[in-house]
Structure 1
């Protein structure tokens, strides 16, 4: 049997008639479809000679008949049913819907974003509640506590990030000290570069930059790992065998981030101060050890307390954002990338907003 369809033009009573023969199926209709698009002014399409027809063939015949205002002749019962079904499924809507006016689109888009943000905040609070409940269940049943998983996440979040956080903090300390010295030299107060570097890094930059780095490094990893497990149905398999994903996947990561952020923040602040002492030794002729010894005199303990209070909260936000977005993955691999990006953006945004809140709060209670 011939594997592709063909046609010929013959003269009929009302004008040219297109006689189609062969199988009108998806496997061999492509050459015929290309040639049919080049024809016009046909009175009728005769399909009595076709050997097989499917939905694609019926759609091609019906579309050609509609375009050329032609009559379909010789259709079998099967062909008639398929053509009628294709005709009933016709959609005259525009492929691209018309865009609304700018004054309508912008408020609508803003409203959708705000509504989605509020729903996301509600879901995040619910996810936090599930995490607390899972942690409470582990406290009540210590034998189920995933100690090895927590230690592994502590290594990944804390120990493995010491190098990059140390390098970043060292360079930030150099920049803060150098730029601060340039401005303070105008007033003959370059000695206060020590105060500026010490208080700024210990109180704000150390913890803040560490949280941003952990969000980009570990928060994204949390979202990608859990999201991939969702796609491969490993999370569903855990539930099937009676293992709680919240206890095994979320709690270890949240605990690791909360426990390691104060240590990483303090480490970052110390390295930044060392970077400031390093550049001050060359730019300001302040001896390295003199710079470090003065830090103990000019940086109050309240600055250390402020950093240590903020660090666990930032760690909780970063871990919760990564785990929550990972748990929301569904559909395909593209969703993993989108959720990972959203986890990082959401964590950094919330960290900066809370840092501003903490700044006002600690000022109001006298820890300025």
Structure 2
């Protein structure tokens, strides 16, 4: 049973002796520290008897040291060894002076910020390699034993991260296709080549805009969601609890999100292609009076399936990058809400940057291959 902190004062050999009892802890202290300080205010020689103290923490040790002041010496304290050690540690911490904050400005601050950025870049690269290593191990385990695959969360994430994004993907690509068609029709009409707006719409939508718009929308929708979900679990120490129970968080949390995006992004790209072409057909039909039949026949004859295949080829890569960035940023969340906000923002920004960079790399590769 917890006893409140208390003390009694006695006179021994011309000096004041304070006999402490009870629990000198943050919960049992109450006003005992202040009363002890007032009682010892006018004393010179001092002896402390702490043998009757049941428990003592840093709060109680600080109250004792503050009440005793400079009059306290180790040989004047009678206590158990662990209590004496605690008093020494707290006394040493009290005497440490805070380091002055050095404010640097100008060119020095710029160099310091650049150095921290470069160091952070290498740290992110190392963390990415560690994340990929854990993920590959989880994938290998699931390939070796398919019973380890968690199909229930994978299917649920397919619906939430993939199928639920279908309306926004379709609407966005529809208007993108309509805008491309409108710009192409206005510009090519000046040259009497308005019929080539069909090829412009087909190539731009089937090769670039279908996968690019889908990936950017998934970066803002799914990458942020993955980072927030895993990050909140990290804050609440749920991931630590999973590891204690022997559950691999990469196998239980990261792998289903990877699989969900890999399964659903081809369908989303197909829907984006159909919606973008529908927007182009509508504008060409209204502005140039070219029928939908003529539009589709010209797409088949002069555009073909190559550009659509290139767009679909990018889909798995984009899905893997979006899932990896979102899940990795979630795994890096600390124990505060500010860290969660920073990581969710970083997940979206990094995913969009990676999508544009990968699309540019694909463009260079296909240009060199003359495809």
TM-score, normalized by length of structure 1? 0.75
User: How does 1:41-120 map onto structure 2 within 5 Å?
Assistant: 48=42, 77-78=68-69, 89=95, 91=97, 94=100, 97-100=102-105, 102-120=106-124
1:260 to 261, 264, 279: 264
Q: Is the 8 A contact 1:138 1:144 kept in 2?
A: yes
Aligned to 2:159: 155
CA change 1:360–1:240 in 2 (3 A) is same
Give the whole-Å Cα distance in 1 for the aligned partners of 2:147 and 2:263.
Answer: 21
TM-score, normalized by length of structure 2? 0.74
Aligned to 2:319: 315
Question: 1:209-243: per-residue Cα shift (whole Å, max 9, x none)?
Answer: 11010011011110111111111111111112221
Give the whole-Å Cα distance in 1 for the aligned partners of 2:204 and 2:242.
Answer: 46
- Residue 124 (str. 1) matches residue 128 (str. 2): yes
Total equivalences in the alignment:
306
Aligned to 1:33: none
Deviation at 1:153, TM superposition (A): 1.2
Give the whole-Å Cα distance in 1 for the aligned partners of 2:199 and 2:232.
Answer: 47
Q: Is the 8 A contact 1:274 1:292 kept in 2?
A: no
Deviation at 1:353, TM superposition (A): 0.6
1:305 to 298, 306, 309: 309
Q: Is the 8 A contact 2:329 2:346 kept in 1?
A: yes
Deviation at 1:91, TM superposition (A): 4.2
1:178 to 173, 177, 182: 182
Deviation at 1:93, TM superposition (A): 5.5
Q: Is the 8 A contact 2:234 2:335 kept in 1?
A: no
Deviation at 1:55, TM superposition (A): 7.1
Question: 1:322-351: per-residue Cα shift (whole Å, max 9, x none)?
Answer: 111111112212211111111111111111
Give the whole-Å Cα distance in 2 for the aligned partners of 1:148 and 1:87.
Answer: 53
Q: Is the 8 A contact 1:55 1:86 kept in 2?
A: no
Give the whole-Å Cα distance in 1 for the aligned partners of 2:243 and 2:147.
Answer: 19
Give the whole-Å Cα distance in 2 for the aligned partners of 1:240 and 1:184.
Answer: 65
2:343 to 339, 345, 349: 339
Give the whole-Å Cα distance in 1 for the aligned partners of 2:268 and 2:194.
Answer: 29
* SS of structure 2 residue aligned to 1:187: coil
Aligned to 1:239: 243
User: How does 1:209-224 map onto structure 2 within 5 Å?
Assistant: 209-224=213-228
CA change 1:77–1:151 in 2 (3 A) is closer
Q: Is the 8 A contact 2:174 2:277 kept in 1?
A: yes
Q: Is the 8 A contact 1:153 1:256 kept in 2?
A: yes
1:281 to 277, 285, 291: 285
Question: 1:25-47: per-residue Cα shift (whole Å, max 9, x none)?
Answer: 899xxxxxxxxxxxxxxxxxxx7
Q: Is the 8 A contact 1:202 1:266 kept in 2?
A: no
Aligned to 1:195: 199
Question: 1:129-164: per-residue Cα shift (whole Å, max 9, x none)?
Answer: 211210110111122211111111111122111011
1:204 to 197, 204, 208: 208
Deviation at 1:48, TM superposition (A): 4.8
Aligned to 1:249: 253
Q: Is the 8 A contact 1:124 1:324 kept in 2?
A: yes
Unaligned segments of structure 2, at least 5 residues:
1-30, 36-40, 44-60, 73-86
Q: Is the 8 A contact 2:173 2:273 kept in 1?
A: yes
Q: Is the 8 A contact 1:262 1:307 kept in 2?
A: no
Unaligned segments of structure 1, at least 5 residues:
1-22, 28-46, 60-75
Deviation at 1:117, TM superposition (A): 1.7
Q: Could you say what the CA RMSD is over the residues aligned between the two structures, in angstroms?
A: 3.0
